[in-house]
Amino acid sequence: MTPNQLHHAIRALKKVISQWEVPAVGKIAERHRTPFHVLISTLISLRTKDQVTNQASQRLFELANTPREMIQLTAKQIEKAIYPAGFYKTKAKTILGVCGTLLEEYNGAVPDDVDELTRMKGVGRKTANLVVTLGYNKLGICVDTHVHRISNRWGYIKTKTPDETEQVLRKKLPRQYWITYNDLLVTFGQNLCVPISPWCSRCPIERYCAKIGVEKWR
Catalytic residue IDs: 126, 144
Measure the CA–CA gap between 29 and 39, rounded to whole angstroms.
Answer: 10
User: DSSP letter at 190?
Assistant: H
Which whole-number Å values give the CA distances from 200 to 21, 101, 109, 158, in the listed order? 20, 46, 44, 21
Measure the CA–CA gap between 201 and 121, rounded to whole angstroms.
Answer: 43
Question: Would you tell me how many other CB atoms lie within 10 Å of the CB of residue 116?
Answer: 15
User: DSSP letter at 17?
Assistant: G
Which whole-number Å values give the CA distances from 31 to 15, 101, 105, 127, 129, in the listed order? 22, 25, 27, 18, 19
Cis peptide upstream of residue 84 (ω within 30 degrees of 0)? yes
CA angle (30 as vertex; 195, 50 as ends), nearest 5: 30
Which whole-number Å values give the CA distances from 148 to 38, 97, 199, 203, in the listed order? 21, 29, 18, 18
Helices (H) and strands (E) in the chain, counts: 13, 0
Measure the CA–CA gap between 175 and 188, rounded to whole angstroms.
Answer: 20
